[in-house]
Structure formats: C-alpha cells, structure tokens
Amino acid sequence: MIWFRELNTILKNIVKIVLKGEVKPKQTANNQVTKPWGNHDKASVLVIGHDPRLQTSNTIAEYCFFADYYFRPKPTDNKELAKYGLANSLFSCIKYLTEGRIRDDEILITNLCNEGLLHPLGRQTVLIPRDKAENGLMQIRELLTASHINLIFPMSQQVNYWLQELGFYQADVNYLQESKPKATGLMNNPPYYQPNIAGAFKRICGKQFIADSQYYLFPILHVKSYPLKNRFLVYEQNYVNCKNSVKQVIDLSNLLGN
C-alpha cells in the first residue's frame, strides 16, 4: 500500500500545481498575419496598435482591429458584434481627437506586431519581443514612406515603450525606465508584458512628439478603452490636451496645403 500512498501524494501535488497555474496548456504560434487597413494614397493619419489578438482570444483578424467590420451593417451575433465594437471604438476615438476633420478613408491602421504571438494564461498583456518590434517598426516606416501621412497615434504603454526604445521618436527617460518589462514577465513561458510602473503611460499620453524628424505623434490608450470610463477617466484631461494639440497640427497642415 506504500506505492498507493506515494501515487496519491503525487496526484495531489499535480492538482496543486495546475491550480496554481504552473502547468500551462500547449500553445502554438499562429502563422497567420493580420493585414494593415487603409488606402496609402489617401491616408493622412496612421494608427498603430499592439498585436492582432484580443486579450483572451486566439482569433486573428484579417485586417487590423477588424476595421473592415466598421464598413459593414452592424452585426447581431455577439462574437461578430464584439469585432464591430472594437473597430467602431477606433474610428470614434480618432474622430474625437481630430474633431471629425479626418475622413474614415484617410486613416491607415496597423499594429507594431501583426503576427499571432503566444498568449500567457490569465489576462496578462502579450509581450512583443524586441525582434518583432524591430521588424514591425521597419514595416511602419515602409508604410509612411509610401503615403502622405503626417499624424500618428500609437496606442498603449508597451507599443510606445518600444517606439521610444528603438528611436522612432524622442525618448522620455523616466517613461522608458518605468515602462521597461519586468523580469517576472520575461521569464514566464510564454512571456508577458508587465512594466515596472503600470501607470507610467499617463506621463506621455496625449503629448505631442515628433517621429523620425517629420511626423507629428500623439500616444493614446488602446482604443478598447474608448470612450473613457471608470479607471480610465483619469486620462480625460490628457485627451482634451491631445485634441487641442491635434487641432493646431491640422490647422497648420491645411495652412501649408499639405
């Protein structure tokens, strides 16, 4: 009976490990790539998101932020409605920040990473590895070169961390330090993004920066948080300031005939 007691102990330990989340279901990376949305020839605004998947879903959108759903009839199915809702939040947010002076067909949408990355358990944020961020920035620069964009809205703390870290726009030294990924998330399998200070994004949200010495850039929250409510209401003044600065940029651009 000794072997039975030992087996019973092993089984109990396995249950404890699973309950603690130390055993993770097997995942495989999705090779599907989400495509940017928009017309290069007409675009004057670039929106940069995080990665193709929703936080707790393995669904890969055909187009970034399911942007194509915004131009379809509003769906009734709950899953399809959620996709439409994300697209609607994006276009509504940009309309608010630009006071409706930018048409829908002037908006180009992409992600810093358009590949399907592995999700950690729970609701942690997917980590964009440095090599994926570098490749994403290269593709973003290609989009910019092929267009007449002069206004950029990059979303989220991690995306803006990488854009500063990789030299796309001038770095806020304090923001970089506070937004650097913690070792606990990096060592997880799969890794996840946990910044040194979660609220550091308020330091730069809505402020005006210059990217690659020629593009006006304004960091914003992920559009899933728009319209602002609950814990995101603390960003309300950031968005008001952003809207005022964007107005000046658009006025100047119109004055110069751009």
Query: Which pLDDT band holds residue 258 (cuts at 50, 70, 90)?
Result: low
CB atoms within 10 A of CB 99: 12
Whole-number pLDDT of residue 74: 96
**Alpha carbon distances (Å) from 92 to 81, 87, 148, 188:** 16, 9, 22, 36
Query: Which pLDDT band holds residue 11 (cuts at 50, 70, 90)?
Result: very low
Say if CB 194 and CB 184 are below 8 A apart: yes
Whole-number pLDDT of residue 9: 40
- Pair type for strands 45-49 and 151-154: parallel
Residues in the chain: 258
Residue ranges and CATH numbers for the domains of the chain are 30-253 (3.40.470.10)
Query: What six digits make up the tokens of 40?
Result: 């290069």
Higher pLDDT, 87 or 9: 87
Q: Summarize the confidence of residues 47-63 as an average pLDDT.
A: 84
Whole-number pLDDT of residue 222: 96
Whole-number pLDDT of residue 2: 40
Q: Summarize the confidence of residues 164-187 as an average pLDDT.
A: 97
pLDDT beyond 70 at 66: yes
Higher pLDDT, 162 or 26: 162
How do residues 208-257 score in pLDDT, each as one tens digit? Answer: 999 999 999 999 999 999 999 999 999 999 999 999 999 999 999 888 87
Whole-number pLDDT of residue 217: 98
Query: What six digits make up the tokens of 9?
Result: 């102990």
Lowest-confidence segment of 67-71, 85-89, 120-124, 132-136 by average pLDDT: 120-124
Backbone angles phi, psi at 25, to 5 degrees: -65, 145
Integer-rounded Cα radius of gyration of the chain: 21
Query: Which pLDDT band holds residue 31 (cuts at 50, 70, 90)?
Result: low
pLDDT beyond 50 at 40: yes
With a CB cutoff of 8 Å and minimum separation 6, the contacts of 150 are: 44, 214, 215, 216, 249, 253, 258
pLDDT beyond 50 at 27: no
For the chain, give the mean pLDDT. Answer: 88
Whole-number pLDDT of residue 24: 37
Whole-number pLDDT of residue 223: 97
How do residues 82-102 score in pLDDT, each as one tens digit? Answer: 999 999 999 999 999 999 999
